Each structure stands twice: as C-alpha cells, then as structure tokens.
Amino acid sequence: QEQLADSGGGSVQAGGSLRLSCKASGYIYANHSMAWFRQAPGKEREAVAGINTNDFTKYADAVKGRFTVSRGDANSMYLQLDRLQPEDSAMYYCAADPNVRALEIDMLIWPRLFQVWGQGTQVTVSS
C-alpha cells in the first residue's frame, strides 16, 4: 500500500525555522513528482513547493527565498522552512504524483492533481 508519512512540524516564534520530512513506504517514488502543500483553517489547500525527478523545483511566491524543497533518497523529501511568519501557520502535507511533468502545470491545479498524500504535520508560528 502506498503511504507517505510527513513529520517535523512544531511551534516556533516568527523568524524561526523548521524542517519537514516526508518518508514514503510501500512504493518507490523515484519517478514521481513530489510536492508540499499547506492548509490553514477556513482556507483552501494550496501548493507551497514541488520537486521533480530532475530536482527541478518550483515555489509559491509567498515562500520564495524562505523555503527550500529537496529530495533525499528515492523515498524521502524535505522542506526547510526559514524566516517563518505567522501567516505560514497551517497543516503541511506532502504528496506525490506519477506525472513527471506535474511541475509544468499551474500550481493552483496541484491540489486536484496530486494523487498520494501524507497525513499532515502542523506548523504554528507565533508573533
């Protein structure tokens, strides 16, 4: 069974950092596009960053220069969150999709496109 397990969330003060991890089991995601999403209470899920099989990356404007997505081995992905702001508070999810060209698609479409999801990890930033 395909599974993604995301972890690393926590509570930090504004300006702090966190590193989120996404570990896959039951399937090899080396040939998948992978991405991070977040969802704050009362808001729609939004794409934050993605990385493809060639390590090409794409970021939402709100996080450019502050967040960094990377892949470890074939079944792991990370999101380094620096200079966190209160508006970054949300549940963060990792996801995978077999479409290797998924990152070419508008990021607004990604929440409906990505097929395999982690359970989420909470990030809370206080001012």
Give the chain as a 3 state SS string: CCEEEEECCEEEECCCCEEEEEEEECCCCCCCEEEEEEECCCCCCEEEEEECCCCCEEECCCCCCCEEEEECCCCEEEEEECCCCHHHCEEEEEEEECCCCHHHCCHHHHHHHCCEECCCEEEEEEC
pLDDT digits (tens, 9 = 90+) for 56-84: 999 999 999 999 999 988 789 999 999 99
Q: What's the pLDDT tens digit per position in 14-49? A: 999 999 999 988 777 878 899 999 999 999 999 999
What pLDDT score does 1 carry?
66
